[in-house]
Chains A and B, each alone.
Chain A
């Protein structure tokens, strides 16, 4: 019976919609990226999204994922962790979902984005702006043991993933707009930023695993999340959001500064 209940619970929780950083976090990532995009890259990108800022589309993938033709993107947001090595049909190592999609989009566009249909470039921009944020969110490495976890946050029973979606940032930065958060988080030197932008999406994913494990490990045994938890969690979240912003800028500059 116990086994049945656990299985049922896992089945229920694993199908719960996962909403990444939330609007505040995703918008902050995009604002930070905008600060480091070249003028030419920014102009090219905006020409494909109706003159809008990339910030406008920062959470767009979350609004459309449940509807056709975007249902196929539902699983792109998260790395459903497995201890076994993931391989493709040819037995080659396979990156997790979000990294695979980012790699695919970059490979498609890096040489000459202008040779692609406009609609494809447009949708690829919307995907990139969101997925680079998602892949830096600790709970987007979805460890099986974290799925059924509930915690008490401000007296409210909250799922682990949802807590990181919004509460970690909003608890400490209530009332701050994403523009303001971008200004506050963007504290690294040019040399540090250049260092952060080094590597590949897979490297960045491996780095995120550290934060993801820490986010789980530091939960108190009684499951009641106190100010101490949020004090430490927000430091991780701020770093993750900021790194995501710098790296999104690097990706967009590499594709569109031409």
Chain B
């Protein structure tokens, strides 16, 4: 019975978060990556995608499991370990598994073009999601994920996850793909080196620590009754969203450059 409950709950978490950043933000992340990829990496991507760039891959629908579970110690955890050590029902660190699988496929010289293309699409989506605060499930505070609030322009409550997928950014800017590059692909080499240092798991754990306080920035059920109140809140949020989008782009480029 408990096993069934665990499965259902984990599935529910996955479904709840399946939309991630909006497609246009994923495309923006991919465009930043493209702007920072080596010619060799670009060429390899074009070969895998039948003449298309990584931005094209970002615009294609791909189904991935996009949660990342973070234990009380701030580390990414797997379901079995978390269930055993914390006696809680949690989703696995599925997002990290998706990334590992995609990278393994892209490294596998016997993988078919179709398999490689699918892996590439999953990787683009997953690296983006890795930098979206809404995709982190804190196993010692699962309710944080369910925070819902109202604001003046939208009469329906929206979850914190939904907010981060779109309004955190689009509440302020309405950039198209090339705008992301113009605005965000302008870090210095030193900044890029600092952003891309470490590895994917370290990035996830760093993000997990950084994102946790964001969930305290609004109370469950809070209603922004006036536009001015919502604007003040957005003014604190949008620079964070923008920086995460930029960082995701540089890191995606780093992963692809190291692969190809």
Contacts and interface: CB of A to CB of B under 8 A. Distances in A.
Chain B facing A: main interface SS = helix
Interface in B168-209: 172-179, 182-183, 186-188
Contact of B231 (A23, A53, A66, A178): A66
Given A51-B188, A66-B231, A179 B178 contact: yes
Interface in A172-186: 177-180
Given A51-B188, A53-B183, A64 B235 contact: yes
B217 interface: no
A39 to B, nearest CB: 15
Given A56-B183, A67-B235, A177 B172 contact: no
A56 B175 CA distance: 10
A63 B186 contact: no
Contact of A53 (B182, B232, B235): B182
Contacts of B175: 177
A18 B259 CA distance: 50
Given A63-B231, A67-B232, A67-B235, A53 B186 contact: yes
A102 to B, nearest CB: 24
A24 interface: yes
A52 interface: yes
Given A63-B172, A63-B235, A177-B178, A55 B183 contact: yes
Contacts of A179: 176, 178-179, 182
Contacts of A66: 228, 231-232
Contacts of A51: 186-188
Interface residues of A, number: 16
A180 B177 CA distance: 11
Interface in B138-195: 172-179, 182-183, 186-188
A15 to B, nearest CB: 12
A233 B228 CA distance: 30
Contacts of A178: 179
A117 to B, nearest CB: 22
Interface string B2-36: 00000000000000000000000000000000000
Contacts of B228: 66-67
Nearest to B179: A177
A44 B250 CA distance: 25
B186 A52 contact: yes
A101 B242 CA distance: 30
B245 to A, nearest CB: 13
Interface in B28-74: none
A180 B175 CA distance: 11
A27 B174 CA distance: 10
Contact of B183 (A52, A63, A67, A180): A52
Contacts of B176: 177, 179-180
Nearest to A63: B235
A177 B181 CA distance: 13
Contacts of A56: 183
A162 to B, nearest CB: 13
B189 to A, nearest CB: 12
A137 to B, nearest CB: 18
Nearest to A34: B182
Contacts of B182: 53, 55, 179
A86 B182 CA distance: 42
A24 B183 contact: no
Give 5 closest A-B pairs by Cβ, nearest first.
A177-B176, A66-B228, A179-B178, A56-B183, A177-B179
Given A55-B182, A67-B235, A179-B176, 12 more contacts: A51-B186, A52-B183, A53-B182, A53-B183, A55-B179, A64-B235, A66-B232, A67-B228, A177-B177, A179-B178, A179-B182, A180-B178
Interface of B: 172-179, 182-183, 186-188, 228, 231-232, 234-235
Interface of A: 23-24, 27, 51-53, 55-56, 63-64, 66-67, 177-180
